[in-house]
Structure 1
């Protein structure tokens, strides 16, 4: 059989061409033929996708020393760094950097209070222990999460240096959470589904960030002294789960990282009456085109 076109080229030439595509394209091209698979999986291709700085973010570099460049690229997912306060991974399609800030890396109001009006405001749970009570909760990126126990106002804040983000990239920040099953959707008095959540995403020293009010449910809203909050919905809670993990997520807003100005991206949540709210963290990932 006479090979024509790119199939007639040496494997090294095919790999050099694939290296100018994207990680997603490389994975797709690996399905074309055995020659393309060998070229697409080669270190020539994945070394171009894998920036040297990624190695410094791996908690235990020795554990990945025997991996190929492709395996090393893929293993950046679910990789806690900064003493477990941050999780870093690469978006497989774009090669852009993604992060999730764990509850230990967030400021969570009352998290250090042993008791708040004779009630523990927040409780720490390991995921295996939490799953014994709520078997619908999947595994996450961190071994521990927090659950709200007290129906009072509270705030969650997260910060990340813009130097950690990919330049010239629009990012979207999300609160990643779940709801304890003892909170019934029909029980309006719980307020967890229907009360508003004020969120913000922007640079610490800037007034140009996005401020919005979101809800966990589309069909209900509560008013305050100034009237009704605007109808900007984050997630319909009922049975609409994040496709990747089964966790729910609520969008803070967008942030364009130029890459030429170093600062801190701030994300805040202000809300009330969220008994049973289980927080996995705040995720920052590139906006889908």
Structure 2
């Protein structure tokens, strides 16, 4: 591929950069191994400016290094780990598409009775948990309620257009917990007040054989937390609406305790 007479060597870096900017971040990385000409083009700001979102949100102070980053360096920084934003949010970029993904902290969400110490309390996370995720330092722990209602909202303009998203609640169970397995919780997502999906979930993930059909169960993450998918939606071009994510159980009339909520992640779904 490095022979002087090959066709690639005849193309200018500007032309190669224009070609690569129409691919994807992983494709640009693979093309960099083709030749020195592709390597130079694949590292250029022209290419990575196309992979970065047009309107990045304002980052919290101190998130980025003081030295200016190249466009490729900025993309890698924002795709390797979440960056804190003002307002109890964090954001990162999808490595494959560059789409913006978010986590809404427990403090940024509406939790019914969440400010009443008899029902919910704020707990500090360990330094290892904070460092592993570069995210929020606290979570909300359920002391006990008769009915559960957790809702998070984000404006669609903060998300990448023409992208399919899913919302996940990130949580743990305390050493003592009960009545989070039945009745099942109801999860829903809506865009502009119109429900995109509604489903049943089971946070306690203890279901008798034969009772798990059509019920979404949690899975354990690499960071030690659990997550359960609450719903999915499509963010179209020019969408200008509130996206709402809700988890509730308000009809069972049973006392529930032991849920630790870290946040709600909204990330792209293939």
Q: TM-score of the superposition, structure 2-length normalised? A: 0.82
Q: Is the 8 A contact 1:146 1:279 kept in 2?
A: yes
The question of whether the paired residues in 1 share the 8 Å contact of 2:53 and 2:100 is answered with: no
5+ residue gaps in structure 2?
none
Cα 1:125/1:6, change in 2 over 3 Å: farther
- The Cα of 1:194 is off from its aligned counterpart by 5.2
Offset from partner CA, 1:208-260 (integer Å, 9 cap, x none): 332211124666169xxxxx987323235xxx4224x4432111212122233
Output the aligned Cα RMSD: 3.1
Match of 1:69 in 2: 71
Match of 1:276, SS? strand
Candidates 181, 187, 191, aligned match of 1:199:
187
Q: Does the CA-based 8 Å contact 1:213-1:229 persist in structure 2?
A: no
Give the Cα separation in 1 of the matches to 2:216 and 2:10: 52
Distance 1:151 1:221 in 2: 24
Aligned counterparts of 2:126 and 2:133: Cα–Cα separation in 1: 8
Q: Tell me what 1:111 maps to.
A: 114
Once the two structures are superposed, residues 154-204 of structure 1 have per-residue CA deviations (whole angstroms, 9 ceiling, x without a partner) of 210111111212222221111112223x248xxxxx233454111110135
Q: Structure 1 residue aligned with 2:214, among 228, 232, 236?
A: 232
Measure the CA separation in 2 of the matches of 1:138 and 1:59: 18
Moved more, 23-32 or 269-278: 269-278
Deviation above 6 Å: which 4+ runs of structure 1?
none
| Cα distance, 1:100 vs structure 2 | 1.3
The structure with the greater share of residues assigned to strand is 2
Matched, 1:78 2:82: yes
Give yes or no for the alignment of 1:213 onto 2:215: no
Q: 1:101 aligns with which of 100, 104, 110?
A: 104
User: 1:106/1:112 Cα in 2 relative to 1: closer, same or farther (>3 Å)?
Assistant: same
Q: In structure 2, the residue corresponding to 1:45 is in which secondary structure?
A: helix
Secondary structure at the counterpart of residue 111 of structure 1: coil
Q: Quick check: 1:163–1:259 contact (8 Å CA) kept in 2? A: no
Correspondent of 1:254 among 208, 217, 232 = 232
Superposition map of 1:142-157 within 5 A: 142-150=136-144, 152-157=146-151
CA drift of 1:2 comes to: 1.9
1:45 Cα shift?
A: 1.0
Whether the 8 Å contact between 1:194 and 1:216 is mirrored in structure 2 is: no
Match of 2:167 in 1: 173
